[in-house]
A and B are shown apart, each in its own frame.
Chain A
Amino acid sequence: MIPAAFDYVRAGSAAEAISLIGEHGDEAKFLAGGHSLLPLMKLRLAAPSVLVDIGRVSDLSYIRDAGDHIAIGALTRHMDVENSAVLKEHAPLLAHAASHVGDPQVRHRGTIGGSIAHADSASDLPATTLALGATYVAQGPNGTREIAATDFYHGFLQSALAADEMLTEIRVPKMQGAGWSFQKFNRRAQDWAIVGVAAWRRNGDSGVALVNMGSTPILATSVASALAGGASVSEAAQLAAAEAEPQNDLNASQEYRVHLAKVLVRRALEEASK
């Protein structure tokens, strides 16, 4: 399978990338690791006329301790997120979830920013960063702005990013001492989750988000509220799909997904409560 024809330009910096995308308009797309975009282009589900390759913008590949949060450059590869000592200490849920993205070859190329900007509800890291209360930083022609993960996902593959904005950083609050769990249910190795759950608990607080339970990653706020109100893990897990609008597809019916979400949320909360 070969993508439809396009022109290729390579940016050396975020500013140059934004300028190039502005120059080429709506038909242009950023290319980071390419592991979401290129498969779509090969299937001709996407046919941008210009690719702006940002894969060499090396100053956007970093993981830094920034005081109350960890700052992750958008072009940090999944493999580097997975192996980061800083994340293992302060946000182990994210490092662990990154180790479940695709397979090693995919993780050598795919980036956290690419995964989030692609905004696929079936991907692991949008839901995981949503559960963690992350903030994303976007850079556009007029400077940068912060977008809460809770405001970022607008629909299937739709995000709050404007056409000429580039996701540059992911900020994840430090979660020392929190219990956490990542549950990914799939039928085949390396596949997307049929349903996935990212969850953490600390004292009375918790965060639970669902993978592939709607057109966007879903924050299961009813579960967190129930736990805060004193509900047991089993009781709270019954509310797993309260915010979800799961789809029927080849892998699972809506009803099955709702069932899976309840089971996986219960397992996640049990693990996070240890």
Chain B
Amino acid sequence: MMGSATGGSGSEGGSLVKISVTVNGTAHESDVEPRTLLVHYVREVLGLTGTNIGCDTSSCGACSVHLNGEAVKSCTVLAAQADGQSVTTIEGMATDGVMHPMQQAFMENHGLQCGYCTPGMVMAATSLLQENPNPTEEEVRIGLEGNLCRCTGYHNIVKSVLAAAAK
């Protein structure tokens, strides 16, 4: 297959690419510039602004979303790479208004202060528990090494993840 470039608008951003991405269970079809990053796609095209942009250099993890169920840094994935794939953002974690157990655990254990890193922390932590359902404290700390928090000192974040694992 020769990609899905439409040869579209001939804009300065390269030939538009047609993508279809399922985000939080809803299928979306869009024409995007190839250089559109997944984080810009979910925030600006789909209006899902729960995913934050922090460092924009694949260090801080604030932009973490799930791509086919695994945490990735959406500032370092092209929207075009997500074509045909399934994406979950923080907005997709609650079910019928009931918070995901990880969100609940963060609330109950005060796993945040300013909250900026929290969406990414929740996405990374749920991905971690899928791979390792009963982590030790050390495994939680290592498993979240891709997510930076400048407020909490991590203590209550780790506590939250361990509490979620115990649920």
Contact of B71 with A108 in the complex, beta carbons under 8 Å: yes
* B88 CB to nearest A CB, Å: 13
Tally of chain B residues near chain A (CB < 8 A): 41
Contact of B146 with A106 in the complex, beta carbons under 8 Å: yes
Contact of B37 with A104 in the complex, beta carbons under 8 Å: no
Which of A8, A55, A103 is the most central at the interface, judged by chain B CB atoms within 10 Å of its CB? Answer: A8
* B131 CB to nearest A CB, Å: 8
* A179 CB to nearest B CB, Å: 24
A173 within 8 Å of B (CB atoms)? no
B4 within 8 Å of A (CB atoms)? yes
What total of A-B pairs shows CB separation below 8 Å?
A: 108
* B117 CB to nearest A CB, Å: 13
Chain B, Cβ-Cβ closest to A188: B59
> In the complex, what residues of A have CB within 8 A of residue B75's CB?
42
Contact of B127 with A7 in the complex, beta carbons under 8 Å: no
Tally of chain A residues near chain B (CB < 8 A): 34
Contact of A10 with B72 in the complex, beta carbons under 8 Å: no
* A111 CB to nearest B CB, Å: 13
B128 within 8 Å of A (CB atoms)? yes
Q: A2–B75 Cα gap in the complex (Å)?
A: 9
Which of A32-40, A117-125, A223-231, A261-269 is the contact stretch? Answer: A32-40
Q: A104–B146 Cα gap in the complex (Å)?
A: 7
* B106 CB to nearest A CB, Å: 18
12 contacts between A and B (CB under 8 A): A7-B34, A10-B1, A10-B83, A42-B57, A55-B81, A102-B58, A103-B61, A104-B127, A105-B71, A105-B146, A108-B67, A189-B145
B interface with A by C-beta (< 8 Å): 1-5, 12-15, 17, 33-35, 37, 40, 56-59, 61, 64, 67, 70-73, 75-78, 80-81, 83, 124, 127-128, 131, 143, 145-147
